[in-house]
Amino acid sequence: MRVLLIGHRGQLGSDLKQAFASEDLVLAGRDNLPVQDGAAVGAFVQANRPDLILNCSAFHRVDDCEDQPEAAFEINVFGVRNLALAARAADAVLVHFSTDYVFDSDRRTPYNESVTPCPKCIYGVSKAAGELMLASLLPKHFVFRVSGLYGYAGSREKGSNFVEMMIGLARQGKPIRVVDDQVLTPTSTADVAEALPRVIRTGSYGLYHLTNAGQCSWYEFAKAIFEGAGLHPDLSPVPSRAFPTRAKRPTYSVLDNHRLRAEGLSELPHWRDALSRYISGLLSKKCN
């Protein structure tokens, strides 16, 4: 099977590259495939004729989306449109990744796939619109909503991820303040990448939530990181108002992987288990 992987240098893309290593992989990124250029996307897909397209491209600098809504929609909505049209012309399956940020309400129970999106920031609005754009154009598609991703490749924009950033701050001996009123499910990119082929092989197209099990606040996540790494920094919980941001973050965005269960597929491990494995691997890399 020929697989086109877009965004192969990012956290998730790097792990997907490993998960699909046995396939005929075509790698693409911003340098050779700007998804916002419809003509370029169409030509690239026709030239390479993939059977499966994995789209990890996104404008996901959440605060910047508030100031640059046109840029956010250009990639998160119209870029998805360009890929959907190209996939349709090539009779390819398109896999697209969305986010827990499409939800932000007073709800305090996990959102399953049947709940209508209710985003409160431009990033969430653009990702919800991208989902609708894809669903309207291409029947042969998968949308996977993910949450709080972290992987060894780090975040290209930030140069790190939350886990490594917390460990770095602790080693500097700085006091650390983390919000305790935003609840989510931190999710390992390795676990997402491992599960993805199993879902795709079902041929049951559509929308899936794909996160590790359980839930926690960012403060609880940070505390677990330090426990796992054997660190003891000066850590305190604070409310979100202590860190004003241009974009509103969801106070509760835990996703229920209902569709996985409905398809008879095993769920992803608990977030604490995923974090433990990640930190063990991270510390092992540091020692080698």
Catalytic positions, written as ranges: 123
Residue 93: CB partners within 8 Å, gap ≥ 6? 51, 52, 53, 87, 140, 141, 142, 200, 205
Rounded CA gap, 5 and 125, in Å? 25
The length of the chain is: 288
CA angle 69, 16, 204 (to 5 degrees): 85
Rounded CA gap, 238 and 176, in Å? 10
Alpha helix positions (H), 117-270: 122-137, 162-171, 189-202, 218-229, 258-262
